Amino acid sequence: DAGVIQSPRHEVTEMGQEVTLRCKPISGHDYLFWYRQTMMRGLELLIYFNNNVPIDDSGMPEDRFSAKMPNASFSTLKIQPSEPRDSAVYFCASSSGATSGRTGELFFGEGSRLTVL
Amino acid sequence: AQKVTQAQTEISVVEKEDVTLDCVYETRDTTYYLFWYKQPPSGELVFLIRRNSFDEQNEISGRYSWNFQKSTSSFNFTITASQVVDSAVYFCALLSGSARQLTFGSGTQLTVLP
């Protein structure tokens, strides 16, 4: 079975440019999470969706960040305009609410490493 | 508020040694779940175990074992006879009754030397 698929794996861009990260969750999973990992702050939850609806976006750092989930098999995290402090690894994760949506067994993608110069 | 503390930032052992990774958590909820995730050098996060707050029975899975003690709010992870492939960052995480997302600790970098 395919796991969570993220793209791109690596992105290098210049300050001010728009960045779009993509995620395909595991088929049948109804929860989707976006995390950011940095050395300074560790793993931070940015936003999560349930059945394509954003439930909690309190972790989104500022208005430059936005996330969408137009359907059950696709989500995007967009940063516009990007800044050097946005450099991090961004993880997408999914889970099934029926068995583990509240019990934390998340399945993570391999991450998208973003570098903003 | 939920908090997870992994006081050990880095641990280095020689292959075949046993190693214990510490995890201390804080929550006011009586219902909660504790987790361990592994992040190998390739970068992905791999789920290892989930334990709910009503089950203090220790668990063993091969060379891995977990010791959950509510009295000390700890959920420690032991690797027996460590191997080089165990080298990774290990994260402890908490999901408490009132929250809907995981709170991760800062991680412990384990290096197993040949």
DSSP A83-106: -GGG-EEEEEEEE-TTTTTTTT--
> Taking 50 as the threshold, does the pLDDT of residue A51 lie above it?
yes
- Chain A, nearest residue to B106 by Cα: A42
pLDDT at A103: 63
Of B40, B30, B41, B36, nearest to B70 by C-alpha is B30
> Taking 70 as the threshold, does the pLDDT of residue A45 lie above it?
yes
A106: which chain B residues are within 8 Å (Cβ-Cβ)? 45, 47, 102
- Chain B, nearest residue to A47 by Cα: B101
A97: which chain B residues are within 8 Å (Cβ-Cβ)? none
User: Rounded to whole angstroms, how far apart are CA atoms A101 and A66?
Assistant: 23
Answer yes or no: do A105 and B35 touch at CB < 8 A.
Answer: yes
Least reliable range by pLDDT among A66-75, A89-98, B72-81, B96-105: B96-105
- Chain B, nearest residue to A101 by Cα: B100
User: Rounded to whole angstroms, how far apart are CA atoms B44 and B52?
Assistant: 24
Q: Taking all residues of chain B, what is their mean pLDDT, rounded to a whole number?
A: 92
Residue A85: HSE in the Cβ half-sphere, 13 Å Cα cutoff: 6
User: Rounded to whole angstroms, how far apart are CA atoms B89 and B87?
Assistant: 7
pLDDT at B54: 87
pLDDT at A101: 47
Under the banding of pLDDT at 50, 70 and 90, the label for residue B55 is: confident
Helix-then-strand count for chain B, H and E: 0, 12
Answer yes or no: do A103 and B50 touch at CB < 8 A.
Answer: yes
Preceding amide of A81 cis, omega within 30: yes
pLDDT at A62: 85
Selected for mutation to probe chain B from A35, A57, A106 (highest B CB count within 10 Å) is: A106
The pairing of beta strand B108-113 with beta strand B10-14: parallel
